[in-house]
Chains A and B, each alone.
Chain A
Amino acid sequence: MIQLKEVSFGYRKQQTVLKQVSLEMQPGLIYGLLGKNGEGKTTLLHILSGMLFPREGQCTVLDEQPGKRRAQFLRQVYLLAEDIFLPDVTFKEYISMHRPFYPSFSDNILKNCTLSFEIDPTRRMKKMSLGQKKKAAIALALSVNTPLLLMDEPTNGLDIPSKSIFRKLLSSIMSDDRTIVISTHQVRDLESLIDAVIILDGKEIVFNLPLNRISEKLDFRLLRAGEISLYSEPSPGGMIGVVPNPGNESGPVSLELLFNAAVLSKNEIKRIFNT
């Protein structure tokens, strides 16, 4: 579905944001795109959606070059940006403005989102709070029902119950022919949701792996005294950390620990996954 071959990008000639990034994404998975601030997560999403063009390399999404922004391509991809623009219309009007452009639009998903998020369709968007605006934007993003959905920090501004509703809604729309890419800082919000993790660090992709593969190779647990780990941090019960998994038993993956380990022990992590 998505293929990036040695893609480089910079906003200026001297400044490189992504350097020779190669990546493949399969349909039927929810990808979590993790990285520190300014590492190029949003840039990567913008390249995938066709807003930005690679300086070098090739980017193919749904068998098209996104940069051409052809109608056929744009109807299959929806980017939920972090800074959403909402006109001064009611939610109902907002939906009716966009619905005709998306043949795959699903009224069932829209109904589900409207009910779950308790959106008042007659309320003007400008008068909504930040959280309500975000819910309205998410409702449209899910309802257009595109094969590729790109989401930039979707849980920013959502309260705790809404985050849980968001996870439920996202799981309910997932199918084998759809790919969802979520860029986020708030890894805990999506821990139970994502199927694969992409970590961006130092202008490159540290790894792109499904969670089951990660849990086969790494163990996330309380550490014994003096035990050497890839990354550790104090917790109320003692030190918790990431260690290589010696056996084949796989446990739950802590995205936060994984991210810190990937950033701090990049080479060691690469070595573990390459063996």
Chain B
Amino acid sequence: MIMDNQFSFKRVGLLLRLDFKAYGKEFVIGMSAIPFVWFTLMWLTRRDSTSEMSEICFVLNGLLALITFCGHAARKMFREKHSFMMTPASNEEKYVSFLAEGFIYLLVSQIGFWAGSYLCKLCWPTVHVASLGALFYHMDINIALILLFATALYFVTAMSVRKLWFLVAIAIPNVYVLLHIIILALLAFSFSDFVGTMIEGNIGKNETFSVTRGSEYIVQTVKIINEIFAPVTAVSTLILFYVSYLKIREKELK
């Protein structure tokens, strides 16, 4: 029995075992419903099914698994704090066990999704179901990063907010998008002012040139945003995961 302050994978395993013993039944029942849910949904929409729709279903399935996992994590953090957080394991081990659980949730939900799709295809060969090849073909790095960012955002919210964490998690991206719109609108507004000044200053001289310069700035800005999107999202995701670790390490269990 290793019981010092060094990180121990054995203890991570013990934490997972403890969790599976306590919630295994709940988990198995919930996860075994996934193939039937998707099977039913695909069956209901079989006449209008498209490959895009099935790809959206694939992403939705992942998000649902993630939300279920975060709900479970929040329960362990807040409702059952005496039990999980006070178990003799280091904060790092608890964090890794959380991540491992998240991965298990995602993996099992994916198995359920593909099982449901396969069943549906067996019954109605003409129905469009998601295919791994098409998914890889369509899956842009930015989409993958957004999904990872959403994962980190949901997780950190579940670790921080006691009640209605899910609503807060939904509100954050909305505020984020709203801020983007406001910033872009302000940018567009200032650019139009800038173009206006240029036109005014150049009346009768070179109007067309000024307008083109103005649009060029906007195109440049969008281009820069596109270029920095991937690294900024990746760094933000890492920061969010680190914050969630800090939440576990420094959280007061009130």
Contact = CB atoms under 8 A, between A and B. Distances in A.
Interface in A48-96: 49-53, 69-72, 74-75, 79, 81, 83-85, 87-89, 93, 96
A71 B81 contact: no
B210 interface: no
B3 A70 contact: no
Q: Which of B11, B18, B79 has the most C-beta atoms of chain A within 10 angstroms of its own C-beta?
A: B18
B82 A85 contact: yes
Contacts of A96: 21
Nearest to B253: A51
Given A11-B254, A72-B4, A98-B18, A85 B88 contact: no
Contact of B5 (A50, A70, A88, A98): A70
Nearest to A50: B86
A103 B23 CA distance: 25
Contact of A85 (B18, B25, B79): B79
Contacts of A85: 79-80, 82-83
A74 B254 contact: no
Interface residues of B, number: 28
A100 interface: yes
Contacts of B25: 88
Interface string B5-18: 10000010010011
A71 B4 contact: yes
Contacts of B5: 70-72
**Looking at chain A, what size class is its interface with the partner chain?**
20 to 34
Interface in B39-97: 79-83, 85-91, 93
Contacts of B88: 71, 74-75, 101-102
A74 B22 contact: no
B23 A87 contact: yes
Contact of B22 (A11, A72, A89): A89
A85 B81 CA distance: 9
Given A51-B81, A87-B22, A72 B253 contact: no
A46 B18 contact: no
A263 to B, nearest CB: 27
Contacts of B4: 71-72
A154 to B, nearest CB: 14
B88 to A, nearest CB: 4
Contacts of B83: 85
Given A51-B85, A52-B253, A70 B90 contact: yes
Q: Which of B1, B3, B81 has the most C-beta atoms of chain A within 10 angstroms of its own C-beta?
A: B3
A52 B25 CA distance: 32
Given A71-B89, A74-B88, A102-B88, A87 B21 contact: yes
B22 A75 contact: no
B120 to A, nearest CB: 34
A84 B253 CA distance: 15
A53 B87 contact: no
Given A49-B86, A71-B5, 16 more contacts: A51-B253, A51-B254, A52-B253, A52-B254, A70-B90, A74-B86, A79-B82, A79-B86, A83-B82, A85-B82, A96-B21, A97-B18, A98-B87, A101-B14, A102-B88, A103-B3
